[in-house]
Structure 1
Amino acid sequence: MEKLITSWSNFQSVPEDYIFPPESRPGNIKIPFSSSIPVIDLSDLNKGDRTSTIHKIIKAAQEFGFFQVINHGVSVNKMKETMNIFKEVFKMPDEYKQKLCTDEPTKPCKMFTSSINYATEKVHLWRDNLRHPGYPLEQWQHLWPENPTRYRECVGDLSVEVKELGSRIMNLMSEGLGLKYGYFDNDLTESMLMTVNHYPVCPEPSLTLGITKHSDPNLITILLQDDVSGLQVFKDGQWISVQALPHAFVINVGYQLQIISNGKLKSAEHRAVTNSDNARTTAAFFLAPSDDCKVEPAQGVTDEHNPPIFKSFKYKEFLDHYFDKYADTDVVLKSFVAP
């Protein structure tokens, strides 16, 4: 296992194997924040404004493929405490972090630098990553990091609240798509993977990337950010920056929701840039189907005038194909288009 970036010392420039080719570099990373990015206040649901809130969510998922939610009901104190613990993980002694680094493919909890394909990738990402399953707790929590000492308790509590938030959002989306309430309350949302990205201070952020351009393979992604911005979304042929709002979650539409909605909702292409002033930490909760779950356009969104665009498949089949074609977002969905 290669040494984590957080274990480096005294680097003044980006190593050559972290420098992206000119056409893939972020260049000017100081892209202005967009005021048009949807921010949806979920407290409006408690004010009897359900129809309007659903309309805003569907409109955002159609036009942007992502949006931010505020007043979402997840404990702000838990969000803050858990983010502090995530940051603490990457400050742990090198000996401890190296124990979390493993090439064993069956180990569910692991830490690595760049990506799981470090040995074969042409250019490395400027990030260290910790990932493990986040749901159900009784199946996975005992395999999570033991240190910091409150890691399992805090991350477990937040994971439960985030899973509940995901269910609420999916129920609002199902209503907006004309599907029955609870359409997604089954094996379509049985899995939740959690991945913590830590982007150390970078001496030359215009040359490298924290994460390359991609869309997520799952249903939706619920992203918790610290107060450092770095998320950029590709819309209408250009990159726009997403401001890190206090106590907000970013919701990304993934490929599975695009498929189930028969193309009515779209997955958002996005990337992460680094900066030379501050490290950045994010935690992404990937709400996804179980491996053997059958995914296909919902009957409620298809008819004789709107035939299915995509064919039926098992989620694991999609994942295998996705990671094979990860860098080429234009071709990921082509193998799953209906004949």
Structure 2
Amino acid sequence: MSTAAVSDRAEEMKRFNEMKGGVKSLVDAGITELPTIFVHPPEILETKPNGVADGDLPTVDFGARREVVVESIRRAASEWGFFRITNHGVPAEVMDGVLAAGRRFHEQPTEEKAALYSTDSRQSVRFNSNGHALKDDDIACWKDMLTCVYADDRLDPAEIPPVCRREFGEYVEHMVRVRETLAELLSEALGLESQHLSKMECMKSEALACIYYPVCPEPAKTFGNSKHSDATFLTLLIQDTVGGLQVLHDGRWVDVAPVAGTLIANIGDLMQIISNDKFVSVEHKVRASTGGPRVSVACFFTPSVKAMGKAFAPMKELISEENPALYREFFFGEYCRHYKTKGYNRPAFSRYRI
């Protein structure tokens, strides 16, 4: 991209952020063409083969016998990196409630949301368009986000907008319970004692993100969310009925259709590293669409404040002469900074391979 083009893009991005209304404000203004900052190059948009049905996406039934659940998770985490969860204990009304509350927030007038608009990741509760400050030559995706960060499972409820405060707080309480169950099951699936991951505190904090994908006037030119893997240890997701999520599996983009009452779990980059590739973090994306709008709620699990000060590496219990460590040590903050600058070409964790 030429210097002039980068400069023009930077100015357009600056104007967009100064509006403090996100993508929804563009839709409300009645635009019929995408602003340049959202237009992705054809080589990035190329997705063939595309849209394969998700009939083979693993489903883990928490109501099954323990050994069956552990084996189901082991296979799903090692072969797909993504799986659905049923009988997880989160009431349907709580799941529906948090999706509805997130929609209420995003569909408020811009002036009701503008005070929270920020690209500063240090802000515990923030509203913005793409999750973090984009570089001048970055390309934006067609989405808005409300993110609430619970450090060590704690966030002052007064910081959360009243329009969604009760529902977000209730949902996070359930996410913490599911996380504790999954921490045990993932530990056992790795052949470790059940409290191993919990003792590491690698999933003790969470960021709850309600993502709003407005109707797009030119969906063939952009993404709802471009191809990426998650810079987390674990992510739990719910989505409304619109659909659009796709997962890369065996070279195919697989449509992950909405299934009422289920959670979608995916392994993050950092879990792949500490498991020494026993579990896999896979790329996924969200299509932009003329349908919708689409709403999803993702819960991203990251280390405790204490654990962020310690180096992570493949767990020594998984390392042997026959299975040497595949990654070097890293700090969570270092990894996140690299993740935001890596671009499209390769997953962030490849930098840490030995």
> TM-score, normalising length from structure 1?
0.91
Show the counterpart of 2:182: 169
Q: Which deviates more from structure 2 when the two are superposed, residues 17-26 or residues 251-260? A: 17-26
Task: Give 1:53's match in structure 2, choosing from 69, 79, 103.
Answer: 69
Structure 2 unaligned regions, length at least 5: 1-16
User: In structure 1, what is the Cα distance between the partners aligned to 2:167 and 2:323?
Assistant: 45
Corresponding residue of 1:183: 196
Is 1:63 matched up with 2:95?
no
> CA offsets per residue over residues 134-173 of structure 1, 9 Å max, x none?
354544433222x31xx22221111011111012112111
Look up the match of 1:263: 277
Opposite residue 55 of structure 1, the aligned amino acid is E
The alignment-based identity, stated in percent, is 27
Cα offset for 1:237? 1.8
Q: What is the match of residue 97 of structure 2?
A: 81
Query: For the residues of structure 2 that align with 1:140 and 1:267, how far apart are their CA atoms?
Result: 31
Q: CA deviation at 1:177?
A: 0.6
Aligned positions, number: 330
**CA separation of 1:106 and 1:257: change in aligned 2, threshold 3 A:** closer
Q: Give how far 1:209 is off.
A: 0.2
State the superposition RMSD in angstroms: 2.0
Alignment-mate amino acid for residue 61 of structure 1: A
Residue 15 in 1 paired to residue 29 in 2? no
Match of 1:315 in 2: 332
Checking the alignment, whether the CA contact within 8 Å between 1:26 and 1:209 is kept in structure 2 is: no
Per-residue CA deviations over 1:248-306 (Å, capped at 9, x if unaligned) read 11111001111111111110110111211211011110111132243111122111211
Alpha-carbon distance change, 35 to 163 in structure 1, aligned in 2, over 3 angstroms: same
Give the partner amino acid of 1:6. K
Query: Following the alignment from structure 2 to structure 1, what is the Cα–Cα distance between the partners of residues 154 and 124?
Result: 14
TM-fit CA distance, 1:50: 1.2
Residue 150 of structure 2: aligned partner: 134
- Taking the TM superposition and a 5 Å limit, the aligned residue runs for 1:27-46 are 31-44=51-64
Per mean C-alpha deviation after superposition, the further-off stretch among 135-144 and 244-253 is 135-144
Conserved? CA contact 1:210–1:273, under 8 Å: yes
Matches within 5 A, 1:269-284: 269-284=283-298
Q: 1:191 to 1:121 in 2, by over 3 A?
A: farther
* Shift of residue 22, structure 1, vs aligned partner: 0.7
What's the counterpart of residue 240 of structure 1? Answer: 254
Q: 1:62 is matched by which residue type in structure 2?
A: S
| Secondary structure of 2:309 counterpart | coil
Q: CA deviation at 1:96?
A: 1.2
Matched, 1:203 2:221: no
The aligned residue for residue 143 of structure 1 is 159
Q: Which residue does the alignment assign to 2:3?
A: none
Q: What secondary structure is seen at the aligned counterpart in 2 of 1:333?
A: helix
Q: Which residue in 2 is equivalent to 1:99?
A: 115
1:32-62 Cα offsets, whole Å, 9 max, x none, are 4221111122111xxxx11111111111111
Distance, in Å, in 2 between the alignment partners of 1:323 and 1:80 is: 31
Find the counterpart in structure 1 of residue 320 from structure 2: 303
Per-residue CA deviation, residues 195-217 of structure 1 (Å, 9 max, x unaligned), is 11100011221211011111111
In structure 2, what residue type is equivalent to 1:296? Answer: A
Structure 1 unaligned spans of 5+: none
1:226 CA drift (Å): 0.9
Give the TM-score normalised by structure 2.
Answer: 0.87
- Secondary structure of the structure 1 residue equivalent to 2:223: coil
Question: Larger helix proportion, structure 1 or 2?
Answer: 2
Worse overlay, 122-131 or 212-221: 122-131
